[in-house]
Chain A
Amino acid sequence: MSMSRRPSDETLAAFAAGRLDEGLALVVAAHVEVNRETRRDLAEIEALSGALLDSIEPEPMAADARTLSVALPHRGIELPPRPAAPPDAAGLHVLAPYTLGRWKSVGRGVALRRVEVPYSDTRVFMLRAQPGTRLPAHRHTGAEWTTIVAGAYEHEYGRYAAGDFDEADDRHAHTPMVDPVEGCTCIVALTGNVRFEGVVGRLLQPFVRL
Chain B
Amino acid sequence: MDANALIQSIAQSSDRQAFVKLFDHFAPRVKALLMRQGTPADLAEELAQETLLMVWRKAALFDPSRAGASTWIAAIARNLRIDAARREKRSRLPDVFEILQGEEPEQPDQVLDGSERDSRVRAALTSLSPDQLRVVQLAFMEGLSHQDVAKRLSIPLGTVKSRLRLAMARMRGSLEDLR
Using a CB–CB cutoff of 8 Å, the interface residues on chain A facing chain B are 9-10, 13-14, 16-19, 22, 25-26, 29, 32-33, 36-37, 39-40, 42-63, 65-66, 68-70, 72-80, 82-83, 93-94, 96-98, 117-119
Q: Contact between B57 and A54 (Cβ–Cβ < 8 Å)? A: no
The one of B35, B57, B118, B126 in contact with A76, judged by C-beta atoms closer than 8 angstroms, is: B57
The CB with the most chain B CB atoms within 10 A, among A14, A57, A61, is that of A61
Q: B49 contacts which chain A residues (CB < 8 A)? A: 61, 63, 68
**How far is A160 from B144 in the complex, measured between Cα atoms in Å?**
28
| A113 vs B137: C-alpha distance when bound (angstroms) | 39
Q: Name B39-61 residues within 8 Å CB distance of A.
A: 41, 44-45, 48-49, 52-53, 56-61
With a cutoff of 8 Å between Cβ atoms, the chain B residues found around residue A66 in the complex are 20
Interface residues of B in 123-170 (CB under 8 A from A): 124-126, 136-137, 139-143, 145-146, 164, 168
Kindly state the separation between the CA atoms of A75 and B68 in the bound complex, as whole angstroms.
23
Which A residues lie within 8 Å of B31 (CB)?
58-59, 61
Question: For the complex, what is the distance from the CA of A10 to the CA of B150, rounded to whole Å?
Answer: 13
Q: Is the CB of B44 within 8 A of A59?
A: yes
Give bound CA distance, A80 to B101, whole Å.
12
Q: How many Å from the CB of B41 to the closest CB on chain A?
A: 8
A22 touches B93 (CB 8 A): yes
A82-B102, A94-B99 known; A53 vs B23 contact (CB < 8 Å) = no
Cβ-defined partner of A49 (8 Å) among B27, B45, B91, B141: B141
Residues of A contacting B32 with CB < 8 Å? 56-59
State the main secondary structure of chain A at its contact with B: helix
Contact of A50 among B60, B70, B95 (CB under 8 A): B70
- Give the residue of B73, B96, B146 whose beta carbon is less than 8 angstroms from that of A26: B96
| Contact-residue size bin, chain B (C-beta under 8 Å from the other chain) | 35 or more
Q: Which of B44, B121, B179 has the largest number of chain A CB atoms within 10 A?
A: B121
Taken together as a complex, chains A and B put the C-alpha atoms of A42 and B75 apart, in Å, by 12
Q: Are A97 and B95 in contact (CB under 8 A)?
A: yes
A44 contacts B171, C-beta separation under 8 Å: yes
Most buried by A among B89, B100, B107, B164: B100
CB-defined contacts of B117 to chain A, threshold 8 Å: 43-44, 47
A98–B95 Cα distance when bound, in Å, is 10
Given A36-B107, A50-B72 in contact, is the A14-B145 Cβ separation under 8 Å? Answer: yes
Contact partner, A33, options B100, B107, B141, Cβ 8 Å: B100
CA distance A29 to B95 in the complex (A): 11
B57 touches A73 (CB 8 A): yes
The residue that A72 contacts in the complex, of B16, B29, B92, B97, with Cβ under 8 A, is B16
- Cβ–Cβ contact A50 & B118, under 8 A: yes
A137 vs chain B, min Cβ distance (A): 30
Chain B proximity of A91: nearest CB distance (Å): 12
Give min CB distance, B136 to chain A, whole Å: 7
Nearest CB to that of B137 among chain A residues?
A: A52
B145 engages A10 (CB within 8 Å):
yes
* 4 A-B pairs with least C-beta separation: A17-B143, A50-B71, A58-B28, A50-B70
Residues B4-46 near A (CB distance < 8 A): 10-11, 14, 16, 19-20, 23-24, 26-33, 35-37, 41, 44-45
Given A10-B146, A50-B72, A69-B16, does the pair A45, B140 have CB atoms closer than 8 Å?
yes
- A11, B124: Cα distance in complex, Å: 22
